Each structure stands twice: as structure tokens, then as C-alpha cells.
Amino acid sequence: MSTLVEALAVVEETDDPVMSPEGRSHYVQYRVSMKMKDYHKSASRLQDMHKHGSAGHVLWGKRFTKASYKEYGINEDEFLPAERHGKALALPGGKPLPKHAQGLGVPPAWKNVHVETDSKAHAYFKGKDKKGRTQQIQNPEFAKSQNEAKHARVQHLMQEMPKVHEHNKTLLNHPQHGDAAHALHLISTTGIRPGSTKDTKGDKKAYGATTLEGRHVVKDAEGKTHLHFTGKKGVDLHIPVTDKTAADELHKRAAKAGPKGRLFNVSAGQLRDHVHSIGGKDFHPKDFRTLRGTPEAHEKMKTMPHPKSEKEYKKHLATVGDHVAGILGNTRAVALKSYINPHLFHEWRKSAGVKE
């Protein structure tokens, strides 16, 4: 827990200007929203959000769905079909794409591509990938504001974590909530994904905390516990389990479940409800995974000297990104973009002379 507290202090005390004034506003208003009740049911709030354009979608710490807009008679999307002319995309009749949608790199394999004509919309392109899954390319400003709101939420979770951890601990042996409590403890201590039974149409079935099976729990030659399973996008993961409570529970459950039996009798929805009951409705199970990224990055940074040039800064950044990616089972780019609070690198940017 001390590592978490140290990382929180670094993030909160920075005067890092990399967060835009809009981003700081998101954080302030997010904290205000924590004290509001049933604000997501307010039609006037949705109308206000719509007026704020892309920023409005996360103005109160929530992402509102298309269904929410339809409920209040707001037409959020104005998509038009896009045509391919060689490698380029264009509007019907060969007209050029709207300026805001140009140069965003829609994958050539996408089919049924549609482009958004409103520059303030949260998604600029939608289409089907080669496996028939619906994909989208977000408005860069919306994506940035969403990321800032997420880090604000996780930063708040950092502050609440001692209390949430103790509450979850009291439920580990509860007959009704024990499975959810142990699954959440595993996510908190290893950083694995919560998991879902939803078919992602991947080449291999992906697993997470709620879908792990007995065969995924292994012990190496040194007697150390690991989780070996297929993660998102078919990545082969070997996750060390260093927490004794988690490791002991995994072996006990694996012996009882058998090779293909599930370790935790809890669904993704039930895990979400558990998180809401012990931490509040503004937190999500995946936040506990995201929470692990910043402290791990901070610990790695403490072993490294401050960079003295932009080249050295980028090399250091890659090292930290690889370290966190190895723990969370994703890529360097994803770790740096989504799992490490950017304010953690403020002092490094200053010492390297890198512009914010």
C-alpha cells in the first residue's frame, strides 16, 4: 500500500501543465459529481452535456451511451457511408471526407465504413473488422478527455484504496460474497483483466479473473505460483502471483474445481456489483487493474536516473512502458497511453528539456 501512496503523492503534487485546463476541469467536476445523486437520470444534464460537444460526454465522470441520448430525444450520431477509392476513403460521389476525419488511418480491412459529419461527435468512424466486429475511431479530443477522466477516477480510487481493501478483506470468507471478493483481490494484486464470457470472436478464447479455470494455476520448479492463460488478442500470459493470500486461495480452488472448472463462481456483472457495494458506483472492476500501472511505473522509475536529453527520455519511457506492459500483459503503447498516469513523467520531461 505504501507504493500506492507514494505514486499518488507524485501525481497529486505535480504542477504538470500537460493536463489541459479542460482536463483539470474534468477532474474538479468529476469530484463534484461524486456528491451528486441520480445525476445520470437528469435530462437537463444530458442536454447540457450535448451542448459541450466532445468534452460533455465525460463532464460528470460518466460516458453516456447512444441509448441515453435517444431516451431524451437527442440525435448524437450523423454518420454517412464512406466509399473506398483505391486506398483512400471518400464520401458518396467521391466527395472528400470532412476535414476533422482526414488522416486518421482507417484500417484497409474494415468493411461497411461510416464517417461522422459532426466534428464534435465522440466517434469519427465506425466499421466492421475482418472478423465482423464493430470497431470505431474516436474523436482524438474526446479520447483525450476520456483518458483524463479515467485517470481522475483512478486517482480518486488511489485515495480510497485502503478503505476499499479493508472492506473487501472482511468479505473473503463470506458465503455469498467470497467469490467476488477473492476475484477482486486477485485483480488488485496481479493486475489481470476482470474477464467476461462475451464472445470476442478471437482465434483463441481469452480469459480473465472471472473466467479462470483450474488448469491456469501452475507452480514452477521453485515453488512459485503463476497464472498461465490466454489473454486478450490471443496473448499467452504468465502472470506471477506473489501475494500469499491470493496464491493459497488459487491452489485451493484449482484442486476443488478440477482442470476445466471455473475458479470463481462470479460473473462480470456480479463482480461489478461487488465493486459498487464496497467502493461506490463510480468505480469499475477494471479500475483496479488500471490502478496497478502507475505504482509499478513509479517503482521502476525510482531505479533509473533522470534523463538528460529527449533521446534519453524516450528510451527511459520505453523501459518503463515495457516493465508495466510485462506485468499487465499488454503492449508498451497501451501501457503508456492507458495504464500510467502521464503526470508521473513530469520531472523527467523537465530534466530532459522535453516540451509539454
The CA dihedral of 27, 33, 35, 37, to the nearest 10 degrees, is -170
Euclidean distance between CA atoms 210 and 276, whole angstroms:
16
CA 136, CA 118: separation in Å to the nearest integer? Answer: 15
Its pTM stands at 0.71
Among 342, 349, 305, smallest CA distance to 321 is for 342
Taking only the tens place, the pLDDT of each residue in 90-123 is: 888 888 888 998 888 889 889 889 998 888 888 8
Name the 3-class secondary structure at 136: strand
Q: Is the dihedral of CA 305, 310, 311, 316 positive or negative?
A: positive
Q: How many residues are recorded in the chain?
A: 356
Instruction: Residue 46: give the domain boundaries.
Output: 1-139
How far is 138 from 166, CA to CA, in rounded Å?
38
Number of domains in the chain: 1
Residue 121 domain flag: yes
Residue 34 lies in a domain: yes
Residue 299 lies in a domain: no
Q: Is residue 9 part of a domain?
A: yes
**257 inside domain:** no
Q: What is the β-pairing status of strands 79-81 and 134-138?
A: unpaired
Segment 276-313, tens digit of pLDDT: 999 888 888 989 998 889 899 999 999 999 999 999 99
Q: Is residue 166 part of a domain?
A: no
Does a structural domain hold residue 15?
yes
Written as tens digits, the pLDDT of the chain (356 aa) is: 556 656 555 655 555 444 444 444 444 444 444 433 333 333 344 344 444 443 333 333 334 344 443 443 334 457 788 888 877 888 888 888 889 988 888 898 898 899 988 888 888 999 998 888 889 998 988 888 888 888 888 888 888 999 999 999 999 999 999 999 999 999 999 999 998 877 566 677 889 999 999 999 999 999 999 999 998 878 889 999 999 999 999 999 999 999 999 999 999 999 999 999 998 888 889 899 988 898 999 999 999 999 999 999 999 999 999 999 988 888 999 999 889 988 899 999 999 998 87
- In sequence order, which residues have a C-beta less than 8 Å from that of residue 89 and are 6 or more positions away? 82, 83, 97, 106, 113, 115
Q: Is residue 330 part of a domain?
A: no
